Chain A
Amino acid sequence: MQKSKFLPRGRKDRTVVMVDIRETKSAKAADHFLQVRPGKDFELLTIMRAMIKDQEISEAEVAATGVSMEVLRDLIDQMKKAKFGVMFFGMGLSMTRGKHMNAAALLTFAAEMNAFTKFVAMPMRGHGNVTGADVIMRWQTGYPFGISLNRGYPRYNPGEFSTVDVLVRGDTDCAFIIGADPGATMPKPAIDHLAKVPTIVLDPHVTHTSRLSRVHITTAPAGIAAPGTGYRMDEVPMPLKPALNSPYPSDEEVVRRIKEAIAEKPDWMTNQPQMIESQV
């Protein structure tokens, strides 16, 4: 682990507190472990927000989260004393009941901790280069995900344009899937709709989604046989250095060729102004 003039002893100068619903291997690697009751993340974080503002919360209410008042007070004290705190959070927080609000609770808490010391928060992104997708969509469309381009410009509304919702409602009539296997992970009604409409899959393997698709194209695995860039979860881009030469084309090449094949067809959006002053 990195050493520096502020933390000359590396890991020894750092304190790791793990908060989870069960004691995992990661918990054993941490200095402290807090077991929170499942589904109580939002309440715990909201209590902590209140406590750093010296608001009174009853011990019983705190205990209902699975963490005692004493432990929580001690944690907050330690956090306030830290020189530089980081809150990492994962899908256990953002994909359980409360979803984006659980993440919002943590981000708000991190922001408010700056009244005492320096704190930042960072999502532990899974799925390889999902951060890259996020970053690129933001600079090219203004929005990170959940985008519709059907009016010729980007619009954003998670819940309306996010994939699971779109599939469950049956609001798409053709799906192009790349670098993901929703056929293995999404709820059944979503998968059923993928099977119903023409689905196109680009993947290095024939996946669950490939099996229910009309078109599967095998591509070279990114970073192993296809070069390019991948973003780290803190939004630092890294060069990819493939070790193998794939017999398959890269995703980049295949998507470009599909895009070019579409561009050869007549445009259906005609008589559009160059710009509109107010959006829908």
Chain B
Amino acid sequence: MNAITLRLRQEPVVALEAEVITPDRFAEMSHEEICSSIVYHGKRQLRLDEFFDVDGERSDQLILHGDLHRVRHLGRAMTRGSLTAHGDVGMHLGAHMKAGQIEVFGNASDWVGAEMSGGKIHVHGHAGQQVGAAYRGSLAGMKGGLIIIDGSAGIEVGMRMRRGTIVIGGPAKDFVGLQMKGGTIVLRDGAEIRAGAWMQRGTIISLKPLDMMPTFARSGLQNPTFISVYSSLLKPHGCELPNDAAAGGYLRYAGDRAVPGKGEILVWQEHSANEAY
């Protein structure tokens, strides 16, 4: 099965809502059906080929090219196949996704993988706010799957997430794991303030020191065995967690006591830096 290629020809002036661009939909569509499928440029319904040159048909492998930063809802609720974007993408990438793979060679905007329940999203650049989060009012964010952001991320990473894993390569902003209920967030380059605020359960692992909320209780340095399990799971995705007791350990914080919650935040601490604590 050859992949379908979409090249952005006409840049949208305002947001282009293109939830139709998913492997599930295009897998059953002829070339003409893909070209004539409806996208929303602001308030106007237009044909997809007013913006994209389309090559191929009936495939669940999609490849997109161009500056797609105004193109929203790519891969929405997808359950199969793959979507690869060469260029920046707009909001809601892979939101409600259930299975399949998304890879972005560029930056992504807000709500990457929001409320997703399965599958994998890998953004090689930076991501905006609310990665893997719950939409406003929803009780649960991400419920499964894996999100890897190589670059930085905005506020509220994993807000109200229940299961699944998020790895942020660069620095994250405020409120990582806000009201988190489960799952794991790995911060390879730390975060700004209020990480883990109001968390009930779940785990945040930070490889850099964190500015902790006052409502977390610290216990001693540990090297939990599940770290090595996690590390081997994440290794194929290019992420390893230090777990050499000779080199250091994880400071464990429990909270958030305001809830009161049973979440944990593990902050990697090399032995040489230990005196600081």
Interface residues of A (CB under 8 A from B): 42-43, 46-47, 49-50, 53, 55-58, 61-62, 64-65, 97-98, 101, 149-151, 156-160, 170-173, 268-269, 280
Beyond the given pairs A43-B213, A55-B260, A269-B43, 14 more chain A to chain B contacts, judged by CB atoms under 8 angstroms and listed by A's residue number, are A46-B197, A46-B198, A47-B214, A49-B259, A50-B215, A57-B215, A61-B215, A62-B214, A97-B193, A156-B136, A157-B135, A159-B130, A170-B14, A268-B43
Query: In whole angstroms, how far apart are the Cα atoms of A170 and B130 in the complex?
Result: 20
Shortest CB-to-CB span from A273 to chain B, Å, is: 13
B13 within 8 A of A: yes
B45-89 at interface with A (beta carbon < 8 Å): 45, 70, 73, 76
B208 within 8 A of A: no
B216-258 CB mask vs A (1 if < 8 Å, else 0) is 0100000000000000000000000000000000000000111
B44 in contact with A268 (CB, 8 Å): yes
A55 in contact with B258 (CB, 8 Å): yes
B258 in contact with A47 (CB, 8 Å): yes
Shortest CB-to-CB span from A200 to chain B, Å, is: 17
The residue from A53, A65, A173 contacting B13, defined by CB atoms under 8 A apart: A173
B97-133 CB mask vs A (1 if < 8 Å, else 0) is 0000000000000110000000000000000011000
Whether A101 touches B178, Cβ cut-off 8 Å, given contacts A157-B136, A171-B15, A280-B19, is yes
Interface residues of B (CB under 8 A from A): 13-15, 17, 19, 40, 42-45, 70, 73, 76, 91, 110-111, 129-130, 135-136, 174-175, 178, 193-194, 197-198, 213-215, 217, 256-260
Chain B contact surface mostly: loop
**What residues of chain B lie closer than 8 Å to A61, measured between beta carbons?**
214-215
Shortest CB-to-CB span from A169 to chain B, Å, is: 8
In this complex, what residue of B is CB-closest to A58? Answer: B214
B73 in contact with A53 (CB, 8 Å): no
Sampled A-B contacts (28; CB under 8 Å)? A42-B194, A42-B197, A43-B213, A47-B215, A53-B257, A53-B258, A55-B215, A55-B257, A55-B260, A56-B217, A56-B257, A58-B214, A61-B214, A62-B214, A65-B214, A98-B174, A101-B178, A101-B197, A150-B42, A150-B43, A158-B136, A159-B130, A160-B110, A160-B111, A171-B14, A171-B15, A173-B42, A280-B19
Shortest CB-to-CB span from A109 to chain B, Å, is: 9
Query: In whole angstroms, how far apart are the Cα atoms of A101 and B174 in the complex?
Result: 11
A57 in contact with B257 (CB, 8 Å): yes
B213 in contact with A46 (CB, 8 Å): yes
6 closest residue pairs by CB, A with B: A61-B214, A49-B258, A55-B257, A50-B257, A150-B43, A50-B258
A173 in contact with B14 (CB, 8 Å): yes
In this complex, what residue of B is CB-closest to A150? Answer: B43
Query: In whole angstroms, how far apart are the Cα atoms of A101 and B19 in the complex?
Result: 30
**What residues of chain B lie closer than 8 Å to A97, measured between beta carbons?**
174, 193
Query: In whole angstroms, how far apart are the Cα atoms of A97 and B211 in the complex?
Result: 15
Query: In whole angstroms, how far apart are the Cα atoms of A203 and B48 in the complex?
Result: 40
